[in-house]
Amino acid sequence: MSGAGGFVGLPVLARLARADSEVHALCTRARPPTLAGVQWHRLDLADYAAVDEVMAELAPERLVHLAWYTEHGRFWGAPENVTWVERSLRLLRAFVCAGGRRLVMLGTCAEYDWRTATDPLVESSSPLVPATLYGAAKDALRRLASAYAEQEGVELAWGRLFLLYGPREAPGRLVPSVIRSLLTGQPVATGSPEQVRDFLHVEDVAGAVVALLDSSVVGAVNIASGVGVPVGDVVDRIVELIGHPELVRPGMLPDRPGEPPLLLADVSRLHDEVGYRPRFGLAEGLAATVRWWQEHGE
């Protein structure tokens, strides 16, 4: 598994470790988190010779590839997106050469054409016209990786993430920025409260990724709640949990160009084919996230 120490990676890894199977985690950190049942391998995915060596040594049957460039506020147009297409394809090739049979890679709702996103987005029929380098890089990776995997007889499932939140999220993102500001008594500016978004707790994201890995489903699968919630309602729920409504400045944060009024997933494949349904509702998930920041936040 790559990206094992990240926001999504760590809860995915924890679930895999509890599944009583041999788990190997790739990480660039000198001191990765301690997790029972996990064998860590310090590896820079830019070192292709080392990647080949590790894949040949481990000969994994399955792979979850989560690593990518994710710096908040910069990843949308960062040139590192191109770099990660290259690294991901090289990792895939090493996995196939080592005899791998099934893998899960993560995509993004930014692969879809947001200009036409007036209904829930469906994997098989909604247009794919990314408006950012990030979305284009993910879409390009999916196309190349899928063609290569099919040619080599390898199963490739593509988990297309929508909006996620939860413990350990980057502090500048919506949910943690509101929580941390209210907890410290600082004003917080938010974007358009009317925008409708599809939010999923990171533990449910992890559950969906593992369920996808354990299934026989191939191709793109939306990983989302399937429930549209106005951004203003999310902020209001956090205020209900913490208080200090006077600190919230709705609509004061400019929206990114091209932001659609609705961004909602059709989750039929996730529910019916993968067989996964989220455990956290938004109210419960936000309450758990607030508790985490109360215990661990600055």
CA-angle at 176, arms to 246 and 224, nearest 5°:
120
- The pLDDT score that the predictor gives to residue 84 is 98
- The pLDDT score that the predictor gives to residue 31 is 66
pLDDT higher than threshold 70 for residue 199: yes
Percentage of the chain modeled with pLDDT above 70: 99
pLDDT higher than threshold 70 for residue 298: no
Interval 275-288 mean pLDDT:
97
Q: Which helix or strand (DSSP H or E) is residue 120 part of?
A: none
Cα radius of gyration rounded to whole Å, the chain: 19
Counted residue by residue, the chain has a size of 298
Average pLDDT of the chain is 95
> Among residues 103, 294, 47, 23, which one has the least CA distance to residue 182?
294
Rounded Cα distance between 77 and 131, Å, is 10
pLDDT higher than threshold 70 for residue 150: yes
- The pLDDT score that the predictor gives to residue 30 is 61
The CATH architecture to which 9-166+199-226+264-280 belongs is: 3-Layer(aba) Sandwich (3.40)
Provide the 8-state DSSP code for 269: I
Q: What is the pTM of this model?
A: 0.96
Beta strand ranges found along the chain (DSSP E): 23-27, 38-42, 62-65, 102-108, 155-161, 163-165, 188-189, 196-201, 219-223, 228-230, 248-249, 262-263
pLDDT higher than threshold 70 for residue 262: yes
69 confidence band (pLDDT: 50, 70, 90): very high
pLDDT higher than threshold 80 for residue 180: yes
Interval 106-113 mean pLDDT:
98
Span 22-66, pLDDT tens digits: 899 998 876 677 778 899 999 999 999 999 999 999 999 999 999
- The pLDDT score that the predictor gives to residue 251 is 84
- The pLDDT score that the predictor gives to residue 37 is 82
pLDDT higher than threshold 80 for residue 95: yes
Q: Where are the domains of the chain?
A: 9-166+199-226+264-280
- The pLDDT score that the predictor gives to residue 177 is 95
Span 123-143, pLDDT tens digits: 999 999 999 999 999 999 999
CA-angle at 72, arms to 110 and 15, nearest 5°:
75
